[in-house]
Amino acid sequence: MLIWLFAGISDRLWFALDRSVPAWDQADYLTNSLNYWRALQHPQWFSSGWWEQVWMLSPKVPPLTYLLTVPFYNLFGTGTAQGTLVHLLFSGILLASVYGIAIQLFNRQIALWACIISALLPGLYVYRLQYLTDYPTTVMVALSFCCLTQWKYSQKKWVWAIAFGVSFGLAMFVKQTALFFLFFPLVWVSVDSLKHKRWQSLIQLTVALLLSGLILIPWVTTNWLLMLTSGKRATLDSAIAEGDPALNTLDAWTYYWNLLPYHISWLWLIVPTVGFLLYLFYPKFFSKPINFSALRWLAIFWIGGYLLCSLNINKDFRYSLPLLPISAIFLAYGLTLWPQRWGKTVRGLTLSLAIVLMLLNLWPIGGVWGRRMAAFLSPGGDRIAHLGLQWPHERVIDEIIQTEPYLQSTLGVLPSTPDINQHNLNYYGALRDEQVYGRQVGTRLEHVGQDSLSLSWFVTKTGQQGMVERIGEAQVAIVREIEQGRQFQLHKRWLLPDNTVLNLYHRQTPYVEVSPQPNASEKVQLSQVIVSPKVPPNATIPIIYVWSGSWEQLHSGLVLLTWKLQTPSMTKGSSEWLHDHAIAMGTLHPGSLENNQQKTGFQVLERMGMLPPENILPGTYRLEATYLNRESGETYAIAVPSVTVEIDPQAAKLPAPELDLVSQLRQLALNLPQGIPGLEPVFDQVGRINQYDPIQDYTVVAEKTLSYRLQTAPDNLDYTYALALATVLQQDAPTAIAALEHVTQLDPQNPNAYAYLAFIHLYALHPQAAEKAIQTAIKLNPDQSEFQALRGIAALMQGNLIQAWQDLQALR
């Protein structure tokens, strides 16, 4: 308890005085924890749909850390320091686990010293001060190994088998790499039980692993596809980008060995090691023999975890942290091997120096000589509290909200340093009721023009730009466009603690403007439409809509806009186009509203671009408008001002904003009938579009407006493909399946339609339905290797290994 109190007080004091901001991953994880906190404010415990949405909040990282953080937010409020309070819980579990392992294998003295060392290892106390999943993973791995150790050595095997099953499942529910550290111990005890025919032990281990699986199943079945597809990016792509050593080099296998002084410090490495050497060379000074059986069990964990960690091609300082608690037990054992004559003095001096090193590593004290000593004895073990000038993240968010109080904004973040990056600006926006999102744009040169046209806020920075080397040309281009172009003006600037300057830019003519209008009617009205009377085909048309109505109606409002040819024509071609979208393009945000303003009138001005289809007929077009409430389903016609647009091939092309995202989605969906060639532009563009709408509300708007359109035009194939794309992007498998089944009815001779349907059935874990759909695709196009592969996956999921093997050869 005293050790836990010491560590907790030290950590809390550091957070109370530190004025730094979370870096990339830390801010991202903190944002995810806020997402779970919001989701659990209004739980629907008995709704399967609600649970599915909860698991989808974190599709790549298991969410146990976030879930355990929620009670601390409820008690103490939100913020970086409040989020890391969960580490007090984890630290208590860690100390109890280390003590439990050491007391079972050795004695109370070693157990206490192991706990002390665990609290003072640089690799652990540095990560206690950061909101990452690595410290919780370390803790849960230690707890799992403690339970497995108790099971191995105690008589209450069923109790500890169940405890291990639960703890191992929870460890995997923090981070899947927990398996790396527990794989070899599990194999060892399983083989040992099999060798000695201890069938009951094998049954207990099997039950334990089934329990672990039950804990993971809900999250895994919801996110299994993203887990698999993101694995390559998280390992191979990251390793290549970061220049990690290849597995066929010695550096790959000594990487974590070389980090031991950084994780443990030379102090804790040398003194216990000398204790082991003294025992080895002067055994006559010692009365008790070494417990080789216990050390072997610890070595199985440590060596096995080290090898599997090293086998992971993506290397990082923090990935081997779960080895440290067991290292602490080894070190405690070596520390107690010192002869009794000098032992107490050596241990006392070592402990005192370790505390001094921790203070030097965490606080700006000690002067030059103190810093040199800390760097020598504990290299890389520092996380010195920042006590200087406050970083301006909160003021940047405040400035955006004060300028556009009724809008949700997306901030384009061009630098990417540990202190100024898209993740931590996004986090501070999330703390303000998610009214501002931060996103990194300008990463591809061919997208720079679209990026600069699609957002209204950007931040740039003088000096070092951070981790943008791989996108250097694109980053330079977009910074030049924002700082020197005519679209943006400098809104505000701040001097940063590193003596560089942060610049906040705002679009000179915003795309959306919202203002109170007390006399507005409750229902939405279209008071003005401003558009050029004559425009060319095959070009984006600039247009302004001015809406008014109550906040409730505007905030929930979708408008279905149809531009129709006034005079019917017998000529082949399209005689109408759509401009369906959410009012204010879905960016209205109630964050700055008073309670009594929900019924108050507002005016919304939208500056947008719209695009008629390629085969649009020349002529004069008039607007028709319908209101659709996304919440209630209420609809009503909207009176339209007298305005017309003439499509004239001779008209000059006009400068225009980017298309709204719903229109871009419908344009992308036109590629889907082509199959693989058509999917490439979809994949290429969706990632870019999602940066502009961080909550992907445009997919929901597209789904609702297209569903309404299909009620009156059920045979429109373009609408149906677009609806399928919108629902797939939402990972809404049931609705996507229904849409794609409709596609196969409207386009029965297109094998790609059946292949899409088969893929979504596989995603929803319906292998039989997938096999039926893909068989039709193969009949229509037997030479498509991707179709064979899909049938192979369906066969594999049904246990038909021979068929799966034959079909999956198509991938070779």
pLDDT digits (tens, 9 = 90+) for 40-75: 999 999 888 899 999 999 988 999 999 999 999 999
pLDDT digits (tens, 9 = 90+) for 641-654: 999 999 999 898 99
Portion of the chain with pLDDT greater than 70, in percent:
96
Higher pLDDT residue, 783 or 339?
783
Q: Which of 138-147, 315-324, 687-696 has the lowest mean pLDDT?
A: 315-324
| pLDDT over threshold 70, residue 342 | yes
637 touches 587 (CB < 8 A): no
First to last CA, the chain: 59
At 4, list the tokens: 């836990």
Rounded average pLDDT over 20-36: 96
Rounded average pLDDT over 334-351: 87
- Domain residues of the chain, as ranges? 1-8+30-377, 392-507, 512-647, 661-810
| pLDDT over threshold 80, residue 599 | no
Q: How far apart are CA 149 and CA 188, in angstroms?
A: 12
Q: For residue 231, what pLDDT band results from cuts at 50, 70 and 90? A: low
Q: Are strands 601-610 and 541-550 parallel, antiparallel or unpaired?
A: antiparallel
Q: For residue 598, what pLDDT band results from cuts at 50, 70 and 90? A: low
- Taking CA atoms, 510 is separated from 213, 366, 487, 488, in Å, by 51, 52, 10, 10
pTM strictly above 0.85:
yes
pLDDT digits (tens, 9 = 90+) for 309-319: 999 888 888 89
Q: For residue 362, what pLDDT band results from cuts at 50, 70 and 90? A: very high
pLDDT of 240 = 65
Q: How far apart are CA 804 and CA 799, in angstroms?
A: 8
pLDDT of 143 = 98
pLDDT of 236 = 65
Q: For residue 692, what pLDDT band results from cuts at 50, 70 and 90? A: very high
| pLDDT over threshold 80, residue 592 | no
Query: Mean pLDDT in the chain?
Result: 91
pLDDT of 285 = 63
Three state DSSP letters for 500-548: CEEEEEEECCCCEEEEECCCCCCCCEEEEEEECCEECCCCCEEEEEEEE
Neighbouring residues of 408: CB distance < 8 A, sequence distance ≥ 6: 434, 435, 436, 437, 587, 588, 589
Neighbouring residues of 746: CB distance < 8 A, sequence distance ≥ 6: 715, 717, 720
Q: How far apart are CA 689 and CA 682, in angstroms?
A: 10
Rounded average pLDDT over 189-196: 89
pLDDT of 227 = 77
H or E stretch at 134: helix 134-153
Residue 455, SS3 per DSSP: coil
Positive/negative CA dihedral, 53, 58, 61, 67: negative
Q: Largest alpha-carbon pair distance within the chain?
A: 109
Residue 769 backbone class (left: φ over 0; alpha: ψ -120 to 50; beta: rest) = alpha
Rg (CA), the chain: 31
pLDDT of 234 = 59
pLDDT of 538 = 85
pLDDT of 233 = 61
> If you search the block for the tokens 């025992």, which residue do you land on?
279
| pLDDT over threshold 90, residue 568 | no
Q: How far apart are CA 660 and CA 445, in angstroms?
A: 21
* Beta carbons within 10 angstroms of residue 112's beta carbon: 18
Q: For residue 612, what pLDDT band results from cuts at 50, 70 and 90? A: very high
pLDDT digits (tens, 9 = 90+) for 656-678: 999 999 999 999 999 999 999 99
| pLDDT over threshold 70, residue 550 | yes
608 touches 547 (CB < 8 A): no
| pLDDT over threshold 90, residue 591 | no
pLDDT digits (tens, 9 = 90+) for 452-505: 999 999 999 998 888 766 677 888 999 999 999 899 999 999 999 999 999 999
Portion of the chain with pLDDT greater than 90, in percent:
74
Q: How far apart are CA 348 and CA 571, in angstroms?
A: 95
pLDDT digits (tens, 9 = 90+) for 619-639: 999 999 999 999 999 999 999
pLDDT of 198 = 87
At 34, list the tokens: 């806020």
Give the full edge-to-edge strand order of the sheet including 488-495: 436-440, 409-413, 457-461, 501-507, 488-495
At 495, list the tokens: 């001097």
Q: Which CATH number does 512-647 carry?
A: 2.60.40.1930
Rounded average pLDDT over 382-388: 90
| pLDDT over threshold 90, residue 640 | yes
pLDDT of 287 = 59
Instruction: Provide the angle, in degrees to the nearest 10, between the axes of the packed helices 324-336 and 86-105.
Output: 50
Q: For residue 433, what pLDDT band results from cuts at 50, 70 and 90? A: very high
pLDDT of 66 = 97
Rounded average pLDDT over 709-723: 95
Q: How far apart are CA 348 and CA 344, in angstroms?
A: 6
Nearest by Cα to 141 from 1, 325, 330: 325
Q: For residue 292, what pLDDT band results from cuts at 50, 70 and 90? A: confident
pLDDT digits (tens, 9 = 90+) for 747-780: 999 999 999 999 999 999 999 999 999 999 999 9
Angle at 106 between CA 105 and CA 110, to 5 degrees: 125
Q: For residue 248, what pLDDT band results from cuts at 50, 70 and 90? A: confident
Q: How far apart are CA 402 and CA 405, in angstroms?
A: 5
Q: For residue 245, what pLDDT band results from cuts at 50, 70 and 90? A: confident
Report whether CATH 3.90.950.20 matches the domain 661-810. Answer: no
Q: Which CATH number does 392-507 carry?
A: 3.40.190
At 501, list the tokens: 């300057």
pLDDT of 291 = 82
